[in-house]
């Protein structure tokens, strides 16, 4: 009975009259409280495209793929993250209540092999459309990282981005092509597939560090400082584990006939 209440579980076993505190104490020895995972819906076309993608890249050397994505980080963190155990007699800490998590910053980063590229902060108030996205890449990724790489590295690198409108537009595709990122150097990406991008796991690691023990940030600059500090704590072995997980992800997609694989 996934996501059932403690009362429903006990009633299914024909056990009644047990206080909630006792029910929960018993269930803690064998179960955990979890939220349902949120995923975009996958239809038949999506699943076929995910399978086609997996077949296309099954023999790819993923050590040359740069996996990229954006992440929004709020002052307060995701709902439900400020929960945890406290000792008897201790009072729960007070949290500020702010609309929409108090606001936040948009962050872009990439991972390749065992290296973290960025993170880079999108200027506050900037909405990423095709033009501003390309200008952002020019000012950060290209000028601060890519141009320092060798010609052989640039020749072999494959750039991955998802299908957000600012990424997949004709304007952005043409702009990247002028930068030499085109055809086989620009990875095609299946729809509704955050579970296939290993950088999503990196975002989880960073957010866990930022919001541990129910921490809240006081300003947008303090959010950014927390992102930078958390990113510094991510070592190369952690990143390598994520990028080396791709062979398994592709095989899982094929085994599940395009279905979700989890992260």
> CA-to-CA distance for 57 and 16, rounded, in angstroms?
55
pLDDT in tens, 203-258: 999 999 998 877 888 899 999 999 999 999 999 999 999 999 999 999 999 999 99
Please provide residue 191's backbone torsions phi and psi, each rounded to the nearest 5 degrees.
Answer: -70, 155
Q: Is the pLDDT of residue 174 over 80?
A: yes
State residue 107 phi and psi, 5-degree precision. Answer: -125, 140
Q: Are 58 and 102 in contact (CB under 8 A)?
A: no
Closest by CA position to 217, among listed 85, 121, 101, 108: 101
**Domain locations in the chain?**
1-34, 44-256
DSSP state of 67: E
pLDDT score at 130: 98
- pLDDT class of 192 with cuts at 50, 70, 90: very high
What does the pLDDT look like over 25-79, one tens digit per residue? 888 888 776 665 666 679 999 999 999 999 999 999 999 999 999 999 998 876 5
Element (H, E) at 168: helix 165-168
Identify the weakest region by mean pLDDT among 82-91, 175-184, 200-209. Answer: 82-91
Q: Say yes or no to pLDDT of 93 above 70.
A: no
Closest to 251 (Cα-Cα) out of 47, 55, 31:
55
Q: Pick one of 3.90.550.10, 1.10.10.10, 3.30.420.10, 3.40.50.460 as the CATH number of 44-256.
A: 3.30.420.10
């Amino acid at each position: 009975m996934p996501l059932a209440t403690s009362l429903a579980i006990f009633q299914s076993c024909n056990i009644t009259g047990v206080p909630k505190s006792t029910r929960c104490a018993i269930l803690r020895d064998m179960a955990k409280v979890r939220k349902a995972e949120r995923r975009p819906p996958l239809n038949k076309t999506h699943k076929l495209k995910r399978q086609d993608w997996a077949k296309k890249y099954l023999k790819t050397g993923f050590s040359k793929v740069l996996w990229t994505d954006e992440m929004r980080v709020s002052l307060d963190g995701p709902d439900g993250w400020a929960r945890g155990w406290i000792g008897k007699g201790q009072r729960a800490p007070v949290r500020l209540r702010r609309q929409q998590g108090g606001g936040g910053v948009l962050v872009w980063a990439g991972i390749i092999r065992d290296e973290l590229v960025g993170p880079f902060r999108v200027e506050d108030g900037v909405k990423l459309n095709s033009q501003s996205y390309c200008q952002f890449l020019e000012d950060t990724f290209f000028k601060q990282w890519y141009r320092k790489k060798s010609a052989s590295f640039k020749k072999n690198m494959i750039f991955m981005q998802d299908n957000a409108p600012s990424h997949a537009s004709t304007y952005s595709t043409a702009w990247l092509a002028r930068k030499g990122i085109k055809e086989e150097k620009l990875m095609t990406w299946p729809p509704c597939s955050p579970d296939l991008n290993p950088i999503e796991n990196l975002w989880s690691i960073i957010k866990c560090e930022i919001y541990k023990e129910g921490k809240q940030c006081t300003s947008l600059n303090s959010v950014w400082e927390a992102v930078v500090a958390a990113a510094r704590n991510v070592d190369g072995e952690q990143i390598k584990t994520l990028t080396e997980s791709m062979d398994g992800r592709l095989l899982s997609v094929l085994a599940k006939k395009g279905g979700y694989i989890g992260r």
